[in-house]
Structure 1
Amino acid sequence: MFRQLKARFGAPVAMAIAGILGIWLILMVTLPQLQMIDYSLRPSLLPAEIGGPKDGWTLINYVTLFNNDIHLSIFFKTLWSSVLVTSLTLLVSYPLAYYLAKTATPGQAALCLLLLIIPFWINEILRTFSWFILLAFRGPLNEILLTLGLIERPIRFLNGDTGVLVGMVYAYILFMVFPLYNAIESLDGNQIRAARDLGAGSLRTHWRIVIPHAKPGIATGCIMTFMLAAGSYAVPALLGSPGSRWFTQIIYNWFFEGGDWNQGAAYAFLLLILCIGFMALVMRLFKVGLADIAK
């Protein structure tokens, strides 16, 4: 990366950019994470006990999760639900990305991208709350279904994880569409035409030609969507029912309601480990490296 910057902008500018990037990574990423790890390894003590004999590193905050069946079940439920959100977002985004990259005219692609981007000019809380209104027990969606005679009584879409899944797929669709679009757009159209000339159907063409070429984009989109879903707080807080709590809500409660920053830091670090593990799994599954994802 430094060589590319040096070749394009010259050594002084490249060094300045690398220096700014390094300082940003240290101050905004590395040091906060190290402090969080330190917090997670220390017990929650009274102010007078800080710095005393009890103030030492311990794994008690991590053991708490595995001794709490409710929190542990929410942790694994968040893992499974985040994987489900990622899968649903991929299923929705892939046809759209392919249409934008290979089928749509420049005008159609520009219009479609504009329609996708405009809602994201609005604050995430407002966008999520709009789904709360749409999916409400007496909301517009139920009223339309009742009017059309498709249902006999209103459906409680917000009872369980349905509303959370819908809200998250909508909230993070752009983070899946753009990596897929960039990967598919670079595919030579002659390969697709050649596959069809040789008798391959649409499904076989996508499975053997498009998807293998788009693996870096799929991996990038899945990683970004999973990490955003696993770390989301606003969507499950607004669209989830009391029985569909997210692990981030437990972390929030430790920090701001329980006032136990040490326990909250341990839970947050475990969530970070979960996201890193998923990223490594996706990279291994798709056989891509960090350089491929960075493209």
Structure 2
Amino acid sequence: MNIAQLFRDYFVKNGIGLGTFLLVAVLFWVVILIILPQLSMLDFSFRHHLPPPEMGGPKDTYTIEHYKYLVLGAPGADTSYNVVDLGVFGRTLLAAFFVTILDLILCYPLAYYLGQSKGGGFIRLLVLLLIIPYWINEILRAFAFRIIFGDSGLINEVMLTMGLISDPIDFIRANVALYAGLGYAYILLMIFPIYNVIESLDRNQIEAARDMGASWWRIHWRVVIPYAKPGISSGCTMVFMLSAGALAAPQILGGPSSLWFTQIIYQWFNTGGNWPRGAAFAVVLLVACIVIVLGMMRLFKVKIGDIGK
């Protein structure tokens, strides 16, 4: 089917007015709000850090010094590599991967129950209870987690009262609060894609597997998970990308030694005032996340079209 036929079918299905509005809205969202800012950021990352009066002048040429700084560090440094920034970069990606796996483990059973349960009213109540906490601002939720996991917070007070510990546990320094806050912040983005796919799974397939003597884990491994793979991939992609690019939660819930790569980017843009270097670091983070996501999709044999269903 050629492009002309696709557009013809699209306008026949949606009408001229609604179809045109949807196309304009999508193009505005993709081109104006995503592609052009990213291209501008990419161009900025190859520029010298110059005072405003010199921008656009003869000194405003292209360079790769900011990317070299991320890898090699400042000229004349004691080490041959920028161990600080590269270490933070690696820890950020590893932590985002951990948060993604944590959310998947927590959300898959719940999504399966919501998708396969027959209790309509009760299920709608559960979904509503999941959504209501997200009416609160993300920053307020992060501060709430800091209070809960603090030295005199709810968790420590309960454990002290029950005699489980003798001294408060520093959940902030141990990054427990950070991982819990990040996992909670994006948990709905993992639940609903999986739920939407599992809801359409024919229950007769599960019953047939049970009748043939398949165990619980084998039913999920051979029937449910392969069917839900597009939803799982979609949820994991969104949680990983947002966790790696998070800023508010690491700023509020992170311990003294839990620097996030986005915090370094923020410092270059604001405190350091070096926008080209901040842009270079941001581009590296974006490219790394895209490469990791595409690599995982290839590893698990998931196509982009499957995620978009």
Aligned residue number for residue 244 of structure 1:
258
User: Residue 34 of structure 1 corresponds to which residue in structure 2?
Assistant: 39
Partner of 2:75: none
Q: Shift in Å at residue 202 of structure 1?
A: 0.6
Q: Which residue of 1 aligns with 2:107?
A: 93
- Structure 1 residues 194 and 223: CA distance shift in structure 2, 3 A: same
For 2:93, the aligned partner's letter is L
Number of the residue aligned with 1:196: 210
Alignment-derived partner of residue 298 in structure 2: 284
Structure 1 residue matching 2:270: 3-state secondary structure? helix
Q: Point out where structure 2 has 5 or more consecutive residues left out of the alignment.
A: 1-5, 73-81
Q: Deviations over 1:226-269 (max 9, x none)?
A: 01100100111111012001100000000011011100000111
SS at match of 2:47: coil
Cα deviation per residue 1:142-177 (whole Å; 9 max; x = unaligned)? 000111121121110001321111101111100000
The within-5 A match list for 1:205-220 is 205-220=219-234
Name structure 1 gaps, 5 residues minimum. Answer: none
Counterpart in 1 of 2:184? 170
Structure-2 change in CA distance of 1:62 and 1:188 (3 Å): same
1:91-240 correspondence to structure 2 within 5 Å: 91-103=105-117, 105-240=119-254
Moved more, 119-128 or 61-70: 61-70
For 1:14-63, what per-residue CA distance to the aligned partner results, in whole angstroms no more than 9, with x for missing partners? 23321332133221111111110111000101234323332111111111
Give CA-to-partner distance per residue, 1:52-81, whole Å, 9 cap, x none: 332111111111111221011000000100
Aligned equivalent of 2:64: 59
Q: Distance in 1 between matches of 2:48 and 2:61?
A: 7
1:9 aligns with 2:9: no
Quick check: 1:223–1:282 contact (8 Å CA) kept in 2? no
Q: Quick check: 35-44 or 156-165, which moved more?
A: 156-165
**Equivalent position SS for 1:137:** coil
Q: Which runs of 4+ in 1 moved over 6 A?
A: none
CA distance in 2, matches of 1:263, 1:247: 13
Instruction: Answer with 207-216 or 62-71: which moved more.
Output: 62-71
Q: Does 1:261 align with 2:266?
A: no
Which has the larger displacement, 91-100 or 45-54? 45-54
The answer to whether the aligner puts 1:25 opposite 2:21 as a matched pair is no
Using the size of structure 2 for normalisation, the TM-score is 0.92
Please give the alpha-carbon distance, in whole angstroms, between the structure 2 residues aligned to 1:204 and 1:20.
44
Q: Distance in 2 between matches of 1:271 and 1:237?
A: 18
Q: CA deviation at 1:87?
A: 0.3
Contact 1:160–1:243 (Cα < 8 Å) also in 2: no
| Greater alpha carbon shift after TM alignment, 124-133 vs 61-70 | 61-70
Could you say if the C-alpha distance between residues 234 and 2 of structure 1 is closer, same or farther in structure 2, counting changes exceeding 3 Å? Answer: farther
Q: Which moved more, 1:205-214 or 1:98-107?
A: 98-107
**What is the CA distance between 1:274 and its match in structure 2?**
1.4
Aligned partner letter, 1:6: F
The letter for the 2-side match of 1:207 is W
Q: Is the 8 A contact 1:180 1:218 kept in 2?
A: yes
Are residue 44 (structure 1) and residue 58 (structure 2) matched? no
**Pairing 1:294–2:308 present:** yes
Cα deviation, 1:187-224, whole Å, max 9, x if unaligned, reads 11000000000000110000000000000000000000
Q: Structure 2: how far apart are the matches of 1:262 and 1:74?
A: 19
Contact kept, 8 Å, 1:2 with 1:14, in 2: the verdict is no
Q: Which residue matches 2:76?
A: none
Q: 1:214 aligns to what SS in structure 2?
A: helix
